[in-house]
Chain A
């Protein structure tokens, strides 16, 4: 089973900031990494697929990078609406596993 170590668990940003969220896999997972955004009481939204590809309809201030074991979700020019819980998921091998999540607060 692949363990995903996501950091930080919590972060606070100001509108206009750039933030990075890290997800490290315990073994090589190629580019089989997705990122999601979730707000309280709402369905999770799929934002990045295959490590680097922006899901259609997602603002271009979101981007993903990485391959193998180290992955990063970057949000440029943060907006107030980006306050949410973000999590990574690997689908390279069974069982699918998730990072512990990052709660992003906007000041």
Chain B
């Protein structure tokens, strides 16, 4: 069974870059007809899809975040990563990584990691 685990700093200063990594076990991120997504949820609010990377390396980003966002993959480590630049308090959220099944929607999720943007 596929398992995903998010990791990264829990505290980021305003204007800096938020960096998270998702480590995948139980399957290779470079095989199969899957894509790999990031999703976030601010406290007390709904979920927001951030973006995804395909096995080809191509990406789709949420237009609301596109100018600040980079999603990349390291197939040698079976990891994919998120970088969000110029963060503000509005970027404080629990961040999830997920695998997208063939229909293009998540089937497996990580447990999530809380990132707080504060000085």
Within A45-103, which residues are at the interface with B (CB < 8 Å)? 45-46, 49-50, 55, 87, 89, 91, 94-101
Query: Cβ of B48 < 8 Å from any Cβ of A?
Result: yes
Whether the pair B46, A100 counts as a contact (CB closer than 8 A) is: yes
B-side contacts of A99, CB under 8 Å: 46
Query: Cβ of A22 < 8 Å from any Cβ of B?
Result: no
A-side contacts of B60, CB under 8 Å: 94
Rounded to whole angstroms, the CA-CA distance of A107 and B101 in the bound complex is 35
Whether the pair A41, B111 counts as a contact (CB closer than 8 A) is: yes
Q: Which residue of A lies closest to B50 (CB)?
A: A95
Counted as pairs of residues, one from A and one from B, with CB atoms less than 8 Å apart, the total is 56
How many of chain B's residues have a CB under 8 angstroms from any CB in A? Answer: 24
Query: Given A41-B111, A42-B111 in contact, is the A101-B46 Cβ separation under 8 Å?
Result: yes
Rounded to whole angstroms, the CA-CA distance of A99 and B41 in the bound complex is 12
Query: Cβ of B107 < 8 Å from any Cβ of A?
Result: yes
Rounded to whole angstroms, the CA-CA distance of A66 and B48 in the bound complex is 23
Whether the pair A97, B107 counts as a contact (CB closer than 8 A) is: no
Query: Cβ of A19 < 8 Å from any Cβ of B?
Result: no
Q: Add 9 more A-B contacts to A43-B109, A96-B105 (CB < 8 A).
A: A32-B105, A36-B109, A43-B111, A49-B105, A50-B103, A55-B107, A87-B46, A91-B103, A91-B105
Chain B residues in the interface with A (C-beta under 8 A): 4, 37, 45-49, 60, 62-64, 96, 98, 101, 103-112
